[in-house]
Structure 1
Amino acid sequence: MNEDALARVDLFSGLSKKELQFLTNSCQERTYTAGSTLFAQGDAGVGLYIVISGKVRIIHKSNPEADEEELRVLGPGEVIGEMALLDDLPRSASAIAIDDVKVLLLPVWEFRTILRNHPDITLNLLSVLSRRLRKVEAE
């Protein structure tokens, strides 16, 4: 079942069934209740989150006294937390469950192995990051 969900994710859409099975076996399924935190701004990046069901708010605070800013809302088929895995810097934002959420967590070491072994995923990731950057620059 999770293989089908992963096949619908832009990053992994080009993978074979065997590769999707490997990816699924590398993931840990996690659930979060509405209002709970998946990860907080400043945390170390331990993995990439793939939303299977529910919606997640991505929020950012420029400093402790500032109001939080909602960056986006993500839902099924979307990926969260990839930036901290690429640059080894702390999380740049927090992820909060809007409603009950089910995710697959791909640990950082598995994520990096997959990127090394599957250049097509790396290119897909660059495309996703580029679209996000263009959107921010256009605002």
Structure 2
Amino acid sequence: MLTQHELFRDAPQTVIERLAKRAQPLTFRCGQRIFHRGDESHGLLAVVSGHVRISTPCPEGRSELILNLIGPNEVFGEIALLDDGPRTADAIAATRCCLLLLERRDLLPLVNDFPTLAVRLLAILSGRLRRTSQQLSDHAFVCAEQRLAKTLLTLAGAPDRNGNRVLTTQRELGHMVGLSREGTNRHLSAWQRKGYIALAPGACTVFDRTALQKIASGPT
């Protein structure tokens, strides 16, 4: 798992062996909270499978602002790792997911010993900031239907001839795009009638990626 991860790809075997002895596997069900904003940080989390929603609660407490959607072979929790401060946002399992916890006390000595890890971590952090900027722009200027199509395509991953199954609830999808469950269901049901997707309890299978990509792109 570690050798395939974006942060540790091409890392020396000694690095992989040291991390493998310490990495802690964790599993979360869809909708389960991984950590709260303000929690003490214990280290970096690497996504093996599934997706994690990074968000921050709005001041009135009735909604949240989605900052990022973290998928397989990505890491999160890097800010608290670097400054040893509290978590800066909430992390919730957007689908069923498997993670690896790499504790700060184990990871930072490796970063000091192998500077290439530090460079890659900075590149990941820069990419995360770019995606957060795009996410905020989408919430401000892109309609909900487009956001839902984009999110569904992200969760579906690479194309598959038999369709891509997304294991998440409609409520969770609504959280990710700022829609009520009813509004989410209205769009998904319409897409199902057109044959773009198929719905099942706690799951959605994408059949027509091209149609969803056209919706995500918006009016031309």
Same fold at TM > 0.5 = yes
Deviation of the 1:137 alpha carbon: 5.1
Q: Contact 2:78 / 2:125 at 8 angstroms: preserved in 1?
A: no
Q: Letter of the 1:54 partner, please give it.
A: G
Q: Equivalents in 1 of 2:25, 2:88: separation in Å?
A: 23
CA distance in 2, matches of 1:89, 1:62: 21
Q: Match for 1:46 among 42, 46, 49?
A: 42
**RMSD between aligned residues:** 1.7
Matched-pair contact (CA < 8 Å) for 2:28–2:93: yes
- Return structure 1 stretches of 4+ with deviation > 3 angstroms: 62-66, 134-139
Where do 5+ consecutive residues of structure 2 fail to align?
138-220
Residues 58 and 95, structure 1, Cα contact 8 Å, conserved in 2: yes
Q: Where in structure 2 are the equivalents of 1:79-98 lying within 5 Å?
A: 79-98=75-94
1:14–1:120 CA contact under 8 A, matched in 2: no
**Partners of 1:103 and 1:126 in 2: how far apart?**
21
Match of 1:73 in 2: 69
Which has the greater radius of gyration?
2
Unpaired stretches in structure 1, ≥5 consecutive residues: none
Looking at structure 2, the residues matched to 124 and 60 of structure 1 have their Cα atoms a distance apart, in angstroms, of 26
Q: Which residue of the partner structure matches residue 61 of structure 1?
A: 57
Shift of 1:104: 0.6
Deviations 1:56-79 (A, max 9, x none): 111112535363111111111010
2:7 aligns to what?
11
TM-score between the two structures when normalised by the length of structure 2:
0.57
Partner of 2:2: helix, strand, or coil?
Answer: helix
Identity of aligned residues (%): 36
Quick check: 1:21 aligned with 2:5? no
**Secondary structure in 2 matching 1:111:** helix
